[in-house]
Amino acid sequence: MIPPLDELLHARTGPMTADMVLHPADFGLGRMPARLQPAATTTSVCGFCSTGCSLRIHLNAAGEAINLSPDRDHPVNLGMACPKGWEALTPLAAPDRATTPLLRESKSGALAPVSWERALAAFTETFKGIQQKHGPHSIAFLSTGQIVMEEMALLGALFKFGMGGLHCDSNTRQCMATSHVAYKQSFGFDAPPFTYADFEESDALIFIGANPCIAHPIMWQRVMMNQRSPEIVVIDPRATETAQAATLHVPLRPKSDLTLLYGLAHLLVARGAVKMDFVKKHTNGFEAFVTFLADFTLDRVAAETGLPAATLHRLVEIITTRERVSFWWTMGVNQSHEATRTAQAIINLALMTGNIGRPGTGANSITGQCNAMGSRLFGNATSLLGGHDFGNPAHRDKIADALGLDPARIPEKTGYAYDQILDAIDRGEIRALWVIATNTAHSWINQRHAQEILGKLDFLVVQDMYATTETARMADLVLPAAGWGEKEGVLINSERRLGVVRKVARAPGQALSDFAIFQLVAEAWGCGGMFRAWRTPEAAFQLLKNISAGQPCDFSGIRDYEHIAASGGIQWPFPNSVGAQSCCALSEYEPGPQQDCAPTLIRQRRLFTDGRFFHADGRAKFLFDPPRPMPELPDAAYPFILLTGRGSSAQWHTGSRTDKSAVLRKLAPTILTMEIHPDDAERLGLAAGDQAEIRSRRGTATATTIVTATVQRGQIFLPMHFDAVNRLTFPAFDPHSRQPSYKACAVAVTKG
Looking at residues 225 to 244 of the shown chain, list those that interact with another protein (rule: CB under 8 A): 239, 241-242, 244
- Tell me the one-letter amino acid at 342: T
Residue closer to another protein (CB basis): 79 or 735: 79
Within positions 642 to 701, which residues make up the interface with another protein, using CB under 8 A? Answer: 648-650, 662-664, 666-671, 673, 677-679, 687-689
Report which secondary-structure segment, H or E, holds 691: strand 691-695
Q: How far is the CB of 153 from another protein (least distance, A)?
A: 18
Within positions 47 to 66, which residues make up the interface with another protein, using CB under 8 A? Answer: 56, 59, 61-64
Report which secondary-structure segment, H or E, holds 435: strand 432-436
Sign of CA dihedral 641, 646, 648, 650: positive
Residue 35 interacting with another protein (CB under 8 A):
yes
Query: Would you call 633 helix, strand, or coil by DSSP?
Result: coil
Residue 221 interacting with another protein (CB under 8 A):
yes
Q: Which stretch binds another protein (CB under 8 A): 147-155, 371-379, 612-620, 704-712?
A: 704-712
* Identified binder of another protein from the candidate list 99, 104, 113, 121, rule CB under 8 A: 121
Round to whole Å and give the CA distance between 271 and 319. 11
Q: How far is the CB of 358 from another protein (least distance, A)?
A: 26
Q: Which stretch binds another protein (CB under 8 A): 139-147, 490-498, 522-530, 730-738?
A: 522-530
Query: Would you call 637 helix, strand, or coil by DSSP?
Result: coil
Residue 253 interacting with another protein (CB under 8 A):
no
* Identified binder of another protein from the candidate list 98, 213, 268, 343, rule CB under 8 A: 213
Q: How far is the CB of 335 from another protein (least distance, A)?
A: 22
* Of residues 47, 343, 385, the one with CA closest to residue 193: 343
Strands, E assignment, 240-280:
248-250
Q: How far is the CB of 658 from another protein (least distance, A)?
A: 11
Residue 95 interacting with another protein (CB under 8 A):
no
* Of residues 194, 548, 237, the one with CA closest to residue 355: 194
Residue 413 interacting with another protein (CB under 8 A):
no
* Identified binder of another protein from the candidate list 196, 466, 541, 561, rule CB under 8 A: 561
* Identified binder of another protein from the candidate list 13, 321, 600, 702, rule CB under 8 A: 13
List of residues 6+ apart from 613 with CB closer than 8 A = 187, 188, 282, 619, 620
- Tell me the one-letter amino acid at 580: A
Within positions 178 to 207, which residues make up the interface with another protein, using CB under 8 A? Answer: none
Residue closer to another protein (CB basis): 297 or 708: 708
* Identified binder of another protein from the candidate list 46, 68, 264, 643, rule CB under 8 A: 68
Burial status of residue 317 (CB atoms within 10 A of its CB: 0-12, 13-18, 19 or more): middle
* Identified binder of another protein from the candidate list 7, 17, 452, 683, rule CB under 8 A: 17
Q: How far is the CB of 563 from another protein (least distance, A)?
A: 11
Residue closer to another protein (CB basis): 316 or 664: 664
Residue 27 interacting with another protein (CB under 8 A):
yes
Q: At what angle do helices 447-455 and 418-427 cross, to 10 degrees?
A: 50
Q: How far is the CB of 689 from another protein (least distance, A)?
A: 3
Q: How far is the CB of 279 from another protein (least distance, A)?
A: 37
Within positions 446 to 505, which residues make up the interface with another protein, using CB under 8 A? Answer: 482, 486-487, 502-505
Report which secondary-structure segment, H or E, holds 490: strand 486-492
Burial status of residue 635 (CB atoms within 10 A of its CB: 0-12, 13-18, 19 or more): exposed
Round to whole Å and give the CA distance between 394 and 389. 9
Q: How far is the CB of 151 from another protein (least distance, A)?
A: 13
* Of residues 752, 674, 676, the one with CA closest to residue 713: 676
* Identified binder of another protein from the candidate list 72, 313, 473, 628, rule CB under 8 A: 72
Round to whole Å and give the CA distance between 705 and 361. 40
| Residue count of the chain | 752
Residue 580 interacting with another protein (CB under 8 A):
no
Report which secondary-structure segment, H or E, holds 480: strand 477-480
Decide if 312 contacts 264 (C-beta within 8 A): yes
Residue closer to another protein (CB basis): 340 or 651: 651
Residue 70 interacting with another protein (CB under 8 A):
yes
Within positions 273 to 302, which residues make up the interface with another protein, using CB under 8 A? Answer: none
Q: How far is the CB of 508 from another protein (least distance, A)?
A: 10
Residue 539 interacting with another protein (CB under 8 A):
no
Residue count, binding to another protein (CB under 8 A): 113
* Of residues 330, 329, 325, the one with CA closest to residue 359: 325
Pairing label, strands 620-621, 283-284 = parallel
Window 712-731: contact mask with another protein (x via CB under 8 A)? --------------------
Residue 511 interacting with another protein (CB under 8 A):
yes
Residue closer to another protein (CB basis): 67 or 179: 67
Residue closer to another protein (CB basis): 227 or 587: 227
> What is the per-residue DSSP string for 80-127?
---HHHHTTTGGGG-TTB--S-EEE-TTT-SEEE--HHHHHHHHHHHH
Q: How many CA atoms lie within 13 A of 233 on its CB side?
A: 24
Residue closer to another protein (CB basis): 470 or 523: 523
Q: How far is the CB of 313 from another protein (least distance, A)?
A: 23
User: From the CA atom positions of the chain, what is the Rg in Å?
Assistant: 26
Residue 5 interacting with another protein (CB under 8 A):
no
Q: Which stretch binds another protein (CB under 8 A): 70-78, 154-162, 333-341, 609-617?
A: 70-78
Round to whole Å and give the CA distance between 354 and 349. 8
Residue closer to another protein (CB basis): 42 or 355: 42
